[in-house]
Structure 1
């Protein structure tokens, strides 16, 4: 067994990484080292991914911001005060303790930010870290830089998946690629294979929707887990939307000839597969991605998550049609709704099963990093996927006695107590009646019925008045 793994276990047992000053020092060193090696890191990312320069720089900046935020959240004075609360006969209801060891299996998508988004809060919670390495260039460069920054006893890199027995200490695994192993211990699993759907209603701002869809799907090589896998567009505006998407796609061409060559290889391979299948019509294969009009829902593009720069557009007849189609794919990682009517957005978001819904927007910050872990609310600020509480355990400490506890303690030994009878009567008292207001809010479809009914009634009244007028005019004597 590697000595460094044994050192990490010893450090976790000793709680070496839990001191607030130590945590701040480690995060500061990590930040400084990432800044000192900016060129090497960005060159490695660019070489591995072929991302545009702006995308590489944004990923780098988001990673630094994540470290800085975790650094700023640690207050040694407050931590020391809370640690000795019981010594002052005070309660510490929010006290937490580190898990011990956090095992990170990072995704290859935006590797730097994905790794740091878990690493920084895990360090801030006072844990030791084990990272499983891949063979790409970026991980080797980044992990080597991080190894030089952090204390040797709290950070270890391995090329294989360690068993629970090998770790031999309380730990949590962060699985960013979404592959869960039930035989292993506690896991925080990203929903990496969950699909993302966008719904474009006929009243939507088509230009804004097209720009958002193209930006999400064609940025970062089309590999973001939050890029839309399927775009459902109302048939009335599908042609205009496809035109807008095609125009927007030109702006997302790769920066360099080498990157363009790589993008073309993937794009043409996918386009050939689409043509051979004959279930989609290729609208455009220019720029940095593929745009297709889905004619048959049996196409392979709708059977699994899309991991390339490809926008698949399918025409829908109504909102209910969109809901039925989306529901066939199970629960979604995200839903994007584009419509000018808030009531319509509410209706669609309510009936499409999804972890999160965004109305008339696709936030750029969520395109970086791994898919959000299951069961956790997506934090949009700085594209966060994790926080320190996920890497710590609640360990409250209480020194005071509650009034209810003291009362119950006295009643426990006195069955005939008057206070006990009063407590029983209070507990058995009926709950208040549920009162509903007589009025109700007019829903989306009720509004449509009322508007349609009003138009029909207006037409009938107008026709009746005109008919009566001419009837009287031609029937009156003397005419």
Structure 2
């Protein structure tokens, strides 16, 4: 066992963070530090180069809100009541214990929120936490002189390291490192969280890793959508917070019938949204796409709007550049579904359509999460939600992710006595139970005689109306003429 992170391992073994009151104390101190330095934190985000003043304020707000939400999960009375459940003769099925140490490799996107959310999730579950800040490769490869700490790690990461070094916080509970620690450094009881998607060859142990999913984000704009609202939401999602959010849309599939007015709406939205906005100066200058399948529709600074002109252009297979918005025409909802599912790696989809069409799209598109006629602002802040669990709208990292269930039971199962009697040779009761359980199954509520009118049923009814009505009119007309002819003969 190495000496590196020895104090963290010892605090984990001691179970220091398992005491709910101690956890609450650490949360209160961390909150006090972040509030005290709030203005400096926001200015540092702007100085890092990817945030406007408003975006810095928003990210700071969501970080504090995340801290508060995790803090509110700590209930000392409930924890004490659960601890003594067995002594009262009660089961404790929800009993859990912390894993020990949570190691988190922080993403480059919205570093402040990503770091605070991960720390709070780990602490709320009763763990010690090790944070690895990322080195800014721009300064390593482009600067000849020895970089300063803020140049090497970024302004925000440097500030976080300074804040977490506050003497009021337990230095044996939270550690900030630069290099990835080994298994020996973290000890036997740990879990690793990678906020950026991992390449397969980088993976160490899938049983002890939490990873953000890799893949694309698709938006679908149907002819029934409010085009202006959709354009504004998609432009904001693509270009907010430096355009680096994992939930920024990579490509928009729009119905051909409304593609021209939608492109105009997107252009107007870009003008109003990006007029006073700046991007990270480290993003390279705009260059003409190498593939002729992209037509430039509009450009504002380093932000570009492209139309995909050839269907065979494989744009849905790759993550998009942070400064491009791609639009691809589709012929129908089914066409959009086929294109979307051809990717097989969608981490999110945004559906802009009436509710009937939206239901159809969300039902048949394979994706980690779907949003209908909205793109939540908080979604654009922080890393992508872990792929190992279902998407949680409230907490980016559910506390259960960093704890392990260890339920305890004192009561017996309902059929335990019956089985015990049967094993002892008393078979009368099991015979009666078998008769009861062999009865035909029936639903608890009677089934309805028929289903509602769904998407396909609507199509059938429309088809009948289009083709059936002319036939009925023709038959009626012929019937009238035939009656007149017979009456003349008579």
Fold match (TM-score > 0.5): yes
Q: Does the alignment pair 1:150 with 2:150?
A: no
Match of 1:262 in 2: 281
Distance 1:437 1:470 in 2: 45
Distance 1:411 1:113, change over 3 A: same
Match of 1:339 in 2: 353
Preserved contact between residue 121 and residue 397 of structure 2 (Cα < 8 Å): yes
The alpha carbon displacement at 1:93 in A equals: 2.0
The one of 238, 241, 261 aligned to 1:240: 261
Match of 2:402 in 1: 391
Q: Deviations over 1:132-169 (max 9, x none)?
A: 12122211211321232530111112211122222123
Preserved contact between residue 392 and residue 398 of structure 2 (Cα < 8 Å): no
TM-score, normalised to structure 1's length? 0.89
- Secondary structure of 2:104's match? strand
Preserved contact between residue 224 and residue 368 of structure 1 (Cα < 8 Å): yes
The within-5 A match list for 1:282-431 is: 282-286=296-300, 289-299=303-313, 301-340=315-354, 342-381=355-394, 384-412=395-423, 414-427=424-437, 429-431=438-440
Preserved contact between residue 210 and residue 388 of structure 2 (Cα < 8 Å): no
Distance 2:311 2:411 in 1: 63
The within-5 A match list for 1:60-75 is: 60-75=60-75
Distance 1:408 1:445 in 2: 51
The alpha carbon displacement at 1:468 in A equals: 8.6
Q: Does the alignment pair 1:197 with 2:211?
A: no
Preserved contact between residue 70 and residue 121 of structure 2 (Cα < 8 Å): yes
Preserved contact between residue 199 and residue 231 of structure 1 (Cα < 8 Å): yes
Distance 1:305 1:426 in 2: 58
Match of 2:140 in 1: none
Distance 1:468 1:166 in 2: 92
Distance 1:374 1:354 in 2: 11
The alpha carbon displacement at 1:402 in A equals: 4.3
Distance 2:11 2:38 in 1: 30
The alpha carbon displacement at 1:92 in A equals: 2.0
The one of 228, 244, 258 aligned to 2:249: 228
More helix by share: 1
Distance 1:443 1:237 in 2: 24
Question: Structure 1 unaligned runs (5+)?
Answer: none
The alpha carbon displacement at 1:430 in A equals: 4.5
The Cα RMSD (Å) is: 2.8
The within-5 A match list for 1:87-236 is: 87-134=87-134, 135-148=153-166, 150-179=169-198, 181-184=202-205, 186-191=208-213, 193-236=214-257
Distance 1:188 1:254, change over 3 A: farther
Preserved contact between residue 198 and residue 337 of structure 1 (Cα < 8 Å): yes
Question: Structure 2 unaligned runs (5+)?
Answer: 135-152
Distance 1:74 1:283, change over 3 A: same
Q: Deviations over 1:379-413 (max 9, x none)?
A: 223xx21121111111222233444333323332x
The alpha carbon displacement at 1:253 in A equals: 1.9
Distance 1:212 1:255, change over 3 A: same
The within-5 A match list for 1:420-459 is: 420-427=430-437, 429-432=438-441, 437-459=448-470
Indicate the larger mover: 372-381 or 208-217. 372-381
Distance 2:186 2:447 in 1: 57
Distance 1:232 1:253 in 2: 22
Q: Deviations over 1:171-194 (max 9, x none)?
A: 111111021644335111111x22
Distance 2:244 2:303 in 1: 12
Indicate the larger mover: 35-44 or 20-29. 35-44
Match of 1:280 in 2: 294
Q: Deviations over 1:119-138 (max 9, x none)?
A: 11210111000111212221
Distance 1:170 1:344, change over 3 A: same
The alpha carbon displacement at 1:448 in A equals: 2.2
The alpha carbon displacement at 1:43 in A equals: 2.2
Preserved contact between residue 196 and residue 335 of structure 1 (Cα < 8 Å): yes
Distance 2:392 2:343 in 1: 24
Q: Deviations over 1:295-318 (max 9, x none)?
A: 134547433111403210000111
Tell me the matched-pair count: 464
Distance 1:431 1:467 in 2: 55
